[in-house]
């Protein structure tokens, strides 16, 4: 299998070059159109990778050998079907002439003194010398047909000789009825034998044709496997492009997951040319675009809600992640909102309910589910938003599920946000997200200003793309140190822009 890449300014020019170099039987493996920014770095607009089998290329080479440049250009300007048929006809005529020359040294076609009535001897050594399996099988079929015709002609000759020898004796005896009867019986026997021989011959020929098809199918499968192996060998022999090598080393140093690095590099190799892969700046630009698309961000539910309809937002966590200050910061975005500090699992030491004003917020503490639901209902009926600071200190997640399911049955709009801290380890944040992702609608990240490993946050975001990022907490000041989540902010922390 021969594989070549063709570059041209137009598709028609590329196809003409393929037909001229590889012939009309070439197979198009890959087509790349260089457009936009990528096309500015390419000399040609079209890149086509084509392949042709060794057998078809050999047939084409024989035709090209007998044509000069002008004849070759005129010949390959015809239709592909015409060119293909002419190449096949030339191959067939060449093979027939070579076989005729071997059979008849004097140059005349035919078998000469060998005779059609002599058996065809084929030994294993001659078969081993035949390198072309298709030619060997086609010769075998021709020889079987020749033997069959020999048997038919010899049978007819025996029948004619039989009637010639007994005709005079039958006439002299003047038994016309006996003559007709004996002739019919004697003639029927050779005819039955002849029909049986024809059936056997047809069966053998049919069997040989099926063997030919099976062998050709095996050859095609072997060519495909050889092509795949050659590609694998080429991939191993080729040195990794400089841009890919630098990208892989950089992402590994930033603690980006190995799985994502592998998928990103595989996509880059598929979509970019060899020259682009050598350029580190182009490869890093491609990586940034792909990584930005992996970070899913969204606005909170209360920001898109109607002014007269309240939303219950639950800030959920398991340990100290700064979710209380995040509740204050987020609640300050909606004037006259209520912050409900829930101590259902002993999150707060004080058991009394209190209320005070803080940045226009009503902050209240509840000790049970009934108080929490009652406070939220009162706030929603006033057309305001309620923010629940919920910390689950219990290992049993069922109570948390029951609490959130109860809120969703009681109120029309409920949003659950998992609170993560940027200073916690990636393993711990993964565990929290894994436990509550079936209940949550998004993620908020606090202490982003103290983060030392933005790659860990990217890994969690990329693996849980169905949970969009809502807010970033960037300090202790309420309500100033709060940002709407963006992909650019996270990537700027990763690459230290």
What is the DSSP secondary-structure string of 396-441?
--HHHHHHHHHHHHH-S-EEEEEEEETTS-HHHHHHHHHHHTTT-S
Instruction: Please give the pLDDT value at position 334.
Output: 85
**Structure token digits, residue 10:** 């137009």
Instruction: Give pTM, 2 decimals.
Output: 0.52
Q: For residue 295, which of 432, 170, 442, 180 has the smallest C-alpha distance?
A: 442
356 DSSP β-pair partners: 363
Instruction: Please give the pLDDT value at position 246.
Output: 92
**Structure token digits, residue 491:** 């990537």
Are the beta carbons of 276 and 41 closer than 8 angstroms? yes
How far is Cα 17 from Cα 179, in angstroms, rounded to an integer?
Answer: 76
Query: In 264-277, which positions are buried (b, 16+ CB within 10 angstroms) versus exposed (e)?
Result: bbeebeeebbeebb
Instruction: Please give the pLDDT value at position 182.
Output: 46
Angle (nearest 5°) at CA 154 between 150 and 159: 155
How far is Cα 52 from Cα 224, in angstroms, rounded to an integer?
Answer: 11
How far is Cα 418 from Cα 397, in angstroms, rounded to an integer?
Answer: 14
Instruction: Please give the pLDDT value at position 442.
Output: 95
Q: For residue 323, which of 397, 396, 403, 420 has the smallest C-alpha distance?
A: 420
Fold entry, domain 303-495: Rossmann fold (3.40.50)
Residue numbers of the chain with a pLDDT score lower than 50 = 102-133, 159, 162-163, 167-168, 170-176, 178-180, 182-184, 186-187, 189, 205-207, 346-356
Instruction: Please give the pLDDT value at position 116.
Output: 35
How many helices (H) and strands (E) would you count in the chain?
19, 12
How far is Cα 80 from Cα 60, in angstroms, rounded to an integer?
Answer: 13
Are the beta carbons of 290 and 261 closer than 8 angstroms? no
Instruction: Please give the pLDDT value at position 496.
Output: 83
What is the DSSP secondary-structure string of 106-124?
TS-SS-GGG-TTSPPP--H
Matching residue, tokens 């015409």: 82
Instruction: Please give the pLDDT value at position 109.
Output: 40
Taking only the tens place, the pLDDT of each residue in 305-361 is 555 678 999 999 988 788 888 888 998 888 888 888 876 554 444 433 333 455 667
**Domain boundaries of the chain, sorted by first residue:** 2-102, 130-234, 242-294, 303-495
Cis amide prior to 479 (ω within 30 degrees): yes
Instruction: Please give the pLDDT value at position 99.
Output: 55
Instruction: Please give the pLDDT value at position 135.
Output: 57
Instruction: Please give the pLDDT value at position 107.
Output: 41
Instruction: Please give the pLDDT value at position 383.
Output: 85
Residues, the chain, total? 497
Are the beta carbons of 30 and 271 closer than 8 angstroms? no
Instruction: Please give the pLDDT value at position 38.
Output: 53
Instruction: Please give the pLDDT value at position 98.
Output: 57
């Amino acid at each position: 299998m021969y594989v070549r890449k063709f570059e041209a300014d137009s598709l028609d020019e590329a196809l003409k070059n393929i037909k001229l170099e590889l012939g009309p039987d070439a197979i198009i493996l890959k087509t790349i159109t260089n457009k936009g920014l990528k096309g500015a770095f390419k000399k040609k607009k079209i890149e086509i990778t084509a392949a042709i089998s060794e057998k078809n290329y050999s047939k084409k080479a024989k035709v090209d050998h007998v044509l000069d440049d002008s004849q070759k250009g005129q010949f390959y300007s015809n239709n592909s079907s015409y060119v293909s048929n002419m190449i096949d006809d030339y191959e067939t005529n060449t093979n027939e002439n070579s076989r005729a020359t071997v059979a008849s040294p004097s140059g005349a076609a035919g078998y000469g003194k060998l005779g059609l009535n002599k058996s065809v001897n084929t030994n294993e050594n001659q078969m081993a010398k035949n390198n072309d399996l298709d030619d060997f099988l086609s010769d075998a079929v021709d020889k079987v047909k020749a033997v069959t015709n020999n048997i038919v002609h010899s049978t007819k000759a025996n029948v004619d000789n039989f009637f010639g020898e007994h005709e005079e004796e039958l006439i002299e005896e003047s038994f016309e009825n006996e003559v007709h009867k004996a002739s019919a019986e004697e003639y029927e026997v050779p005819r039955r034998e002849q029909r049986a021989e024809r059936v056997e011959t047809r069966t053998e020929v049919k069997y040989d044709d099926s063997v030919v098809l099976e062998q050709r199918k095996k050859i095609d499968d072997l060519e495909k496997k050889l092509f795949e192996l050659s590609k694998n060998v080429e991939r191993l022999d080729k040195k990794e492009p400089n841009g890919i090598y630098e990208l892989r080393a950089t992402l590994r140093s930033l603690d980006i997951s190995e799985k994502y690095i592998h998928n990103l590099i595989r996509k880059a190799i598929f979509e970019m040319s060899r020259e682009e892969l050598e350029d580190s700046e182009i490869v890093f630009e491609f990586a940034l675009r792909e990584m930005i698309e992996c970070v899913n961000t969204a606005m909170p539910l209360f920001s898109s809600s109607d002014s007269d309809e309240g939303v219950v937002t639950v800030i959920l966590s398991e340990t100290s992640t700064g979710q209380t200050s995040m509740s204050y910061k987020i609640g300050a975005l909606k004037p006259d909102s209520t912050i409900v500090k829930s101590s259902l699992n002993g999150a707060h030491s004080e058991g009394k309910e209190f209320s005070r004003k803080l940045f226009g917020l009503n902050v209240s503490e509840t000790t049970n589910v009934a108080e929490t639901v009652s406070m939220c209902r009162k706030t929603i009926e006033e057309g305001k938003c309620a923010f629940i600071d919920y910390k689950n200190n219990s290992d049993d997640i069922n109570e948390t599920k029951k609490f959130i399911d109860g809120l969703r049955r009681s109120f029309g709009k409920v949003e659950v946000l998992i609170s993560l801290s940027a200073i916690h380890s990636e393993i711990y944040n993964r565990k929290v997200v894994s436990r509550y992702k079936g209940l949550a609608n998004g993620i908020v990240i606090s202490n982003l200003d103290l983060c030392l490993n933005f790659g860990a946050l990217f890994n969690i975001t990329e693996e849980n793309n169905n949970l969009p990022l809502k807010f970033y907490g960037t300090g202790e000041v309420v309500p100033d140190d709060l940002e709407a989540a963006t992909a650019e902010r996270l990537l700027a922390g990763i690459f230290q822009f």
